[in-house]
Amino acid sequence: MSADLLLVSNHDTEQWAEDGFPARALRSSDEVREAFAATSRRRNPVLWIADHPEQVVPLAAEAPLVVTNNRLLLLNEAERFQRELLQIVFRIVLAPGEGVHLPELDEMKDILAAPNREDLLVGGSTDPVNQLVLLYRGNLQPVVVPYAWFSRRAAAPRPDFRDFEITDYGQTVRLGKYEASVDAVLYAHDPEYRRKARARMVEEDASFGGALRRLRLLKGVARSDFPDLSEKQIARIERGEIKKPHASTVTAIAQRLGVEPSEIESY
Amino acid sequence: MEEERVEGQIRDDERVEPPHVTILHKTRAWRLALRTGMFLDRVPPPREVPPELEDLVWQKRKQLRRKWDEMYPENPVFSQEDER
């Protein structure tokens, strides 16, 4: 049972608790109020899961106006006013509807129960006006990815941002016929995920050249696509023949790849 | 289709280096290198992949390598086929 995962249970999710879902189950409105009072000042995020907004909306009437780290995942849609109330009480609220997609309930249960749930996705939406995809990890941490990131590979099908879905138990982002692994998305957008992912590898080329090669390929950039550097120079750096490239070379590489020079070695 | 998903996938966006196929099972994933046939990550433990599933994926390595090369022409598996 996890202290940072609370399940406001009703008859639909009661079975989750019986199946060993690793959350503390709150079975009455008193338990909900007490748990909120106990967690509202905690520094570490607490993830609340509720089936229906009515189970948690009453908190808005009595909650002190403090900035909490509580996050709420609603499994069913909320009315606009309910959502606004809940956004007063919870730092992050994720609920289906209004363009937000959540995985199927069976998959959602397994994602939330997984020990690595922060590396899986529990929802998201696309924003055609700002050309952004907003994704939520299993701890409800948001990740914002520009449309352009999904469209950078010439050999891949064109992403259809109107047809968005989280599949494979939170491990794949599907946009029409195009699919991206969540591992690749997080590796590209979260330095901490990158550090953990590299630590999990059996072996890797930990040199500057190895990191440059991984970053370049992740960005879909050819060796010949560096304006001020030759293909041969990039190849020599990647092969480790130039172990410490000049600072101006590193800056030029970083500029082309859209990262800070100091970030290159984190890939 | 569902069976193919369990056997191993190459999605349109993967971490590109090194070339690999991903065995997905519910919330877990194992990356198997297409160059060497070795698992790339310690976690989740490779020993938890059923050997018959690993063998099934590896038996399809020629198709998977071809697919990888089509999808990621900038980082092909290699120019010649190898044997494990």
Nearest CA among A243, A246, A241, A239 for reference residue A261: A246
Cβ(A35)–Cβ(A26) under 8 Å? Answer: yes
Inform me whether the pLDDT recorded for A139 exceeds 50.
yes
Q: Tell me the ipTM for this assembly.
A: 0.88
Q: What is the pLDDT of residue B81?
A: 40
A147 touches chain B (CB under 8 A): no
Mean pLDDT of A14-28: 89
Query: Measured between alpha carbons, how far is residue A258 from residues A17, A61, A216, A262 in Å?
Result: 46, 46, 10, 12
pLDDT-derived band at B1 (thresholds 50, 70, 90) equals very low
> Which residues on chain A are in Cβ contact (under 8 Å) with B26?
110, 169
Q: Collect all residues of chain B within an 8 Å Cβ-Cβ radius of residue A137.
A: none
CA distance A54 to chain B (A): 30
Say which residue the tokens 């600072």 belong to.
A247
Domain region containing B67: 6-71
Residues in chain B within 8 Å Cβ distance of A117: 27
- Residue at B78 is within a domain: no
Least confident of A31-40, A54-63, A140-149, B16-25: A54-63
Query: Kind and range of the H or E element at A179?
Result: strand A178-181
Dihedrals φ, ψ of A97, to 5°? 100, 165
The answer to whether residue B39 is domain-embedded is: yes
Return the residue of A nearest to B74 by Cα.
A222
Rg (CA), chain A: 22
| B47 min Cα distance to partner chain A (Å) | 13
Question: Is the CB of B71 less than 8 angstroms away from the CB of A156?
Answer: yes
Number of domains in chain B: 1
For residue B60, tell me if it sits in a domain. yes
Residue A19 is predicted with a pLDDT of 86
At residue B45 the predicted structure's pLDDT band, cuts being 50, 70 and 90, is very high
Residue B83 belongs to a domain: no
Interchain pair A202, B39: CB under 8 A: yes
Average pLDDT of chain B is: 85
Q: For the segment A34-67, what is each residue's pLDDT rounded down to a tens digit?
A: 999 888 888 889 999 999 999 999 988 876 666 6
Choose among B49, B51, B6, B44: nearest CA to A114.
B44
Task: Tell me how far the alpha carbon of residue A158 is from its chain's centroid.
Answer: 22
Judging contacts by C-beta atoms under 8 Å, the chain A residues touching residue B11 are 172, 179-181, 184
Q: pLDDT (tens digit, 9 = 90+) per residue, A185-242?
A: 999 999 999 999 999 998 878 889 989 988 998 888 889 999 989 999 999 999 889 9
CB A266 within 8 A of CB A195: yes
- CA distances to A46, A175, A195, B26 from A165, in Å: 26, 7, 27, 16
Chain A residues in contact with B73 by the CB 8 A cut-off are 155
Which domains are assigned to chain A? 2-98 (3.40.50), 113-195 (3.30.2020), 205-266 (1.10.260.40)
Q: Which residue is closest to B29 within chain A, CA to CA? A: A171
At B3, is the pLDDT very low, low, confident or very high (cuts 50, 70, 90)? very low
Tell the burial category of A48 from Cβ atoms under 10 Å away from its Cβ (0-12, 13-18, 19+).
buried
In a domain, B30, yes or no: yes
The rounded percent of chain A whose pLDDT value lies above 70 is: 97
